[in-house]
Amino acid sequence: MAGERPVPATSPLKRRVLHALSIIAAVVVIAYFARDVARQWSGVRDLLATITVDWPLLALSGVVVLASYAVLIETWRRTVVAWGERLRWRDAARIWFVSNLGKYVPGKVWQIGAMGVLAQEAGVSSVAAIGSSLVVNLVNIVAACLVVAVAGAQVVTIAGRWFVPLVIVASGAALATPWMLPWMLAVARRVTGRELADPKVPPSAILVALVGCVIGWGLYGVAFRLLAISLFGHAAGNTASYIAVFTISYLAGYLYLPSPGGLGAREAVLTTALAALSLEAGAAAYLLILASRLWLTVLEALPGLLLIVTGRARPTPTNRRNG
C-alpha cells in the first residue's frame, strides 16, 4: 500500500526479555492482592453466608454497565467518522467487544492492534482505524482524570488542593491530543509493522471522545454503587464517591500494562480507595471487589467470546470511505 513501508521489528531476544519482565511484574501484583484476599478469606466466607443478593438490582447494575459499553462504542465509532470514514454501529460493536479481549493479554497493545485490524476489514483506512483507537484510549485516560477530580473533590479530604491542578493538567492533555498523536502512532507502527502517515486529528473527534468517555466513566461508577447495594442492601456513600473510587482504580489497572485486564493493580488501588472514603473495609471490601471483578469480566468478555464462537467476530466489509 502506498505510503506504508516496513518498520524494523524489535529483536527476538528483546521481545522475550520484555515479555518475561511483564509476566514477572504481573505475577508480583496479582500475588500481592491474592495474599490480602487470603488473609481476609474467612471473613469473606462468613459474610457470604449472611447476605442475600438482590438479583433485580444486580441485573440493573449489569444493564448500566452495558449502557456504558454502548456509549464507548458510539464514542469510538464517531471518532472514526470524524476522520471521514464510515462504520456501522453493528460492526463497531463487534470490533469493540472482540478487540477488548486483547486487554486480557499482558501489554494491552493487542487490544489496539486488534481494533485496527478488524476496522480495516470493515473498510476503514489504517490511519483512521488505529489513530481513532489511540485517540480514544488517550482521551479515556484524560477523561478519567477529570472525573476523579470532579467526583473525588466532593469526598476526599486531600482532594481540595489537587482539584484545580488536576483539572488543568487533564484539560491540557485533552487539548494537546493532536500534538501527542504522532507519538501514539509511533506505538502503532511498532504494533502493526507499518509506516503510517501522521494525520491531523479533527477537533470534533477529540470533543466527541472526551464527552463520551466522561459519560462512560460515570456510568461505570453508578453500576458499581448498584452492585454494592445489591450485595449489602445499602450504599455507604453517595454516587460521586463510588464513581471516584471505581474510576481511579480502573485507571490504575488500565495503566499497569503488564497485568492482563489490570488484574491485581485495580483491586489493590480499589481496596485503598474504598477504605480512604469510608465506603467499605475488611471482608466487605474484598467481597465487593471480587464481585466487581467477576461481574465486569463476564459482561465485558462474554459478548466477544460469543461472537468468536458463533463465527460473527469479523465485521462485514461493506463500508466505504466518504467522498
* Cβ neighbours of 13 (radius 10 Å): 8
Range of lowest pLDDT (29-38, 75-84, 133-142, 153-162): 153-162
Q: Helix H segments across the chain?
A: 12-48, 55-82, 89-100, 109-121, 126-152, 159-175, 177-192, 203-232, 239-255, 265-276, 282-309
- pTM, rounded to two decimals: 0.77
* pLDDT higher than 80, residue 298: yes
**Rg of the chain, C-alpha, whole Å:** 20
* pLDDT higher than 70, residue 190: no
* pLDDT higher than 90, residue 23: no
Where is mean pLDDT largest: 27-36, 160-169, 201-210?
201-210
- Angstrom CA distances, 272 to 157, 207, 276, 281, 296, stand at 14, 32, 6, 9, 20
Task: Specify the higher pLDDT residue, 173 or 10.
Answer: 173
* pLDDT higher than 80, residue 18: no
Cell numbers 467470546: residue: 305
pLDDT (tens digit per residue) in 78-101: 888 887 888 889 899 988 888 888
Q: Is 6 helix (H, G, I), strand (E, B) or coil?
A: strand
